[in-house]
Amino acid sequence: MPLTRSCWLPGLLLTAAMPAIAAEGPVYGPELQGFEYPYTLKHFAFESQGKSLQMGYMDVAAHGKANGRSVVLMHGKNFCGATWETSIKALSDAGYRVIAPDQIGFCTSSKPDNYQYTFQQLASNTQQLLKALGIQKASLLGHSTGGMLATRYALQYPEQVDQLAMVNPIGLEDWKALGVPYRTVDQWYERELKVTAEGIHDYQRNTYYDGRWKPEFDRWVDMYAGMAKGPGKNQVAWNSALIYDMIFTQPVYYEFKDLKVPTLLLIGTADTTAINKDIAPPEVKAKIGHYDLLGKQVAKLIPQSTLVEFPGMGHAPQMEEPAQFHKALLGWLDKTNPVP
């Protein structure tokens, strides 16, 4: 059953008890204890793979006149439900009920010691949450890795999906098939143990935002880095490694043609994100991660697709230019499934 937790006192005490570390940035617990979410954080307890787990999520009611429809937001690999803050407000103000879960292995949700990560499993977990909340059908909005998950969900439960929208989804190409080298889970784990706020900032600025940066992005760097250096850092790093392996080895690219719902691709064209690009040979690196081309290519594969491009924007146009992004999103949602 869904549970509400208004605060995470142990995480706050832990942060206060480590002034030397905190001086270099905030420190958060393994389930992001101590980090403030923009809306009430609840937890859904369920069983999966023989384990008792919990998913953190926000369930935000429509403001003003409700239209009777729900939107489920699926976050990216280096993001959390909290990073949907402006989108939640825009959708709620437009009359939608908004559900923003943190997937297992991420953010405020459980990070089990041994878990077989598949997009099918994460889709099933999310479907259980929606069933518990009484939501029989919803529109999906997936960002980055969340785009891969939203695609899998729409393929797995097509009768429960009204519309599918994806923001700079990764997985618009099959990196492995294109010659990108494989990293083992152990290699990913060692890499994740070395994560720093500075490294996260530099990677996101260069890859996500084409060299640009806004001060409001710092909070999301602190969110990721604070958990990665917190008391559960080994647990966080191990689950992150398993998730990276899932992303690289479980492409949805070949099934875009099988989508049966209206689909919107919202693409910042300056994005250059590609898994393992940093270890790819020069000739392979040169041909991957080109969202200015990938959006157009994948739009042709999806039967009921609409492509909206944001020229010059990066991996997260919903965070770079919220007003412009949400105007396009809300216009499409209403056009493809108008309120009676």
pLDDT one-digit tens code per residue, 158-205: 999 999 999 999 999 999 999 999 999 999 999 999 999 999 999 999
pLDDT of residue 338: 64
Confidence of residue 340 (pLDDT cuts 50, 70, 90): low
pLDDT of residue 13: 35
Assess contact for 132 and 44: CB atoms under 8 A: yes
Domain CATH number, residue 90: 3.40.50.1820
DSSP 114: S
Other C-beta atoms closer than 10 Å to the C-beta of 32 total 28
Q: Domain count of the chain?
A: 1
How far apart are alpha carbons 119 and 323 in whole angstroms?
31
State which residues form the domain around 131: 2-336
What is the percent of the chain where pLDDT is above 70? 92
pLDDT, the chain, mean: 92
pLDDT of residue 66: 95
Question: CA 240, 245, 246, 248: dihedral to nearest 10 degrees?
Answer: 120
pLDDT of residue 339: 57
Is 3 a residue whose pLDDT tops 70? Answer: no
Is 16 a residue whose pLDDT tops 90? Answer: no
Interacting residues of 231 by C-beta distance below 8 A, sequence separation 6+: 14, 27, 29, 30
How far apart are alpha carbons 149 and 143 in whole angstroms?
9
**Average pLDDT of span 138-144:** 98
State the pTM of this model.
0.91
Q: What is the pLDDT of residues 62-119, one digit of tens each?
A: 997 999 999 999 999 999 999 999 999 999 999 999 999 999 999 999 999 899 999 9
Two structure tokens written together for 165: 């929208």
Q: What is the pLDDT of residues 299-314, one digit of tens each?
A: 999 999 999 999 999 9
Q: Shortest CA distance to 159 belongs to which of 193, 118, 130, 197? A: 130
pLDDT of residue 24: 74
pLDDT of residue 23: 43
